[in-house]
Structure 1
């Protein structure tokens, strides 16, 4: 009997020990290629494929709440033998990936994680017999520590979007909405939207669209709630373009709601303050929204576009700013922007400074797929940041305040 109990106890310990061990797979479709996605493809269906050059390093990111030990393995297949280097927490190991038609698990190393926080796994190609390095379905992490690791399980590789919602006094109509943006040097990453003046029907700000192109962008949503195709929106629900500035491109848009879009290609620069101004004119059940951008080189305001929005008839409400990473390939990089000196001018001619802002974020943050984001107030500005795989410094619903400047903007609009 004692022997049976001892056997059962031993088995119980074995079961308990096994229960504390966990294995997770960081999916290949959540990987990034650094410095950029060339000579390799990150496929939403297949993970890392077409890895042809060792100039591209394949990286994965995760966050652990504690220190501890992990076993690291790579789930991969290769058309011909190849060799790669795998690094994590300042520990590296070279491994050979054999020729295989199916994905197989290749153990890499045991790793000591020295402290809680974010970590980067990097895969570097060393040599290959064929045209490319192995396809990577994912990276396996196992051990007790793996149980509580946070990582992005979805192919949505963008950083979380973050917003500032401005508090407006009750019974005040915002006919005009003014704001400024300054982007620190190095934070103006590709595929970033720094949005200054958002309202219940649209948004107005500036983007980094390619290594050689930047834009001032202004959009207004249609009525009706169609999520994708503007061709399905009834004519009476469509935003109408009334005017646009010189060299401004204007069209309809879809796939994120539908509406009227306009942009002006302009090479804005980091570390410089840019000024944005929105105007709203209700008439019956429509409202005309006009966006102006101050061009510092010309020392004058430029009209971007003017749209008439149906089924509205209100002044601007729900005023906000946001920071968005709209590309999938570089969501690992940190972005930061300063948003400040926001004012409204009421329909009675009263200037009101907006010095309080509520911090919110998007579905990616709410699902905890990405937890690297934040915001606050410093040096007289509000700021927002996302990406970079570092700890958040703000939570949904936090309220920020900045000191009042007390001096309304001086605005001398040209006559149109």
Structure 2
């Protein structure tokens, strides 16, 4: 299913996998961690078999790693083909054209040697040149050997999404958060496919906007069921399930699983990069339940739109653990840099007091904590917080960093629809 939050079960399993860090001997970059650039078309990257079905020379096949040390490195290719072929291999400005013989089994092909002059991110690029069979090559892995491989970092897992990054807000102690307001601005060119920009998250759900396909974008609001069922909503008892109470016109709402379970809603809306969008959450506790309602401001209509309202069982409290996040939910383009601005967050208490949230603590997910990816960050600029992920660029933040933005001092002007 299309990603609408954190894939908790799979992330947890992957976080427990061994981390490949070489101190001696060759470093092996698995074929299933490659990316096809500019897009995965005319080539497949299989979680089981690595690079396969490579029929189109329009793409390069790229592998990425981070060198902790300068020094020499030798590169070899583990590959096979269904007919004689030639591919060009590049690293660090050095390149070599190699032949891949017709064979049923993978063989190791020595390629080139180069010297990495400084620590940093590097790219191994493969380009198809000639083929007599159907494919240029099936690539099982790239191996690197030499002094530069000491403490070398790379992704050893088929999880090709980049790290998810978060802003965690801390309202004053003792305040009941009845309303939670926030804004998002995505810079032009940063609205990459498979990205979720989430504005208003709390202990029970999340509310933001996604790029779902070249032709579809969504406003998404979801609330988790009670309990800890990770995948199958059919296993969740009725009394533990979130219940849909209302939804706006043209909003799609249903249950979800596979990342925890709960109630999902979305509205197909062509939001645009460069524009600022407004999000508003409302919480009404009643006994052991809480009703959560999401509103999105539609600038073309100059009015707030109801997305959906859900009743969450076994809750009975106001919103806590407030946060925003930026997530890359597409495997195929997990190499592409993406950035979003998050700002002007406010809460309104049950006593009617508006409080501006000008500080945020940075955190990240299991992919970052396992050091499978090092390219992520966040901070404050242009009066807003920002988050970014992917691109194989040096991180500019670490978990626990606290950012601060200038206070605007103007509480949101909100006139909600009446039903």
With the shorter chain as reference, the TM-score category is over 0.9
- For the 8 Å contact 1:20–1:144, the answer to whether it is kept is no
Among 37, 48, 52, the residue aligned to 1:45: 48
- The corresponding residue for 2:409 is 406
- For the 8 Å contact 1:216–1:264, the answer to whether it is kept is yes
Stretches of structure 2 that go unaligned for 5 or more consecutive residues are 1-21
SS at the partner of 1:171? Answer: coil
What are the Cα deviations for residues 3-33 of structure 1, in whole angstroms up to 9, with x where unaligned? xxxxxxxxxxxxxxxx985201100000001
Pairing of 1:11-410 with structure 2 (within 5 A): 22-410=25-413
What are the Cα deviations for residues 15-60 of structure 1, in whole angstroms up to 9, with x where unaligned? xxxx985201100000001111111110111000000110121100
- For the 8 Å contact 2:69–2:150, the answer to whether it is kept is no
What are the Cα deviations for residues 105-127 of structure 1, in whole angstroms up to 9, with x where unaligned? 10111112122110111100000
- The corresponding residue for 1:8 is none
**Structure 1 residues 21, 171: CA separation in 2 closer, same or farther (over 3 Å shift)?**
closer
For residues 178 and 115 of structure 2, the distance between their equivalents in structure 1, rounded to whole angstroms, comes to: 59
How far did 1:90 drift? 1.6
- For the 8 Å contact 1:22–1:144, the answer to whether it is kept is no
TM-score under structure 2 normalisation?
0.94
For residues 40 and 241 of structure 1, the distance between their equivalents in structure 2, rounded to whole angstroms, comes to: 42
Q: How many pairs does the alignment contain?
A: 398
**Structure 1 residues 21, 225: CA separation in 2 closer, same or farther (over 3 Å shift)?**
closer
How far did 1:193 drift? 0.2
SS at the partner of 1:376? Answer: strand
TM-score under structure 1 normalisation?
0.95
How far did 1:66 drift? 2.1
SS at the partner of 1:193? Answer: strand
| 4+ residue runs over 6 A deviation | none
What are the Cα deviations for residues 382-408 of structure 1, in whole angstroms up to 9, with x where unaligned? 000000001111011111111110000
For residues 148 and 34 of structure 1, the distance between their equivalents in structure 2, rounded to whole angstroms, comes to: 27
How far did 1:302 drift? 0.3
Bigger radius of gyration = 1
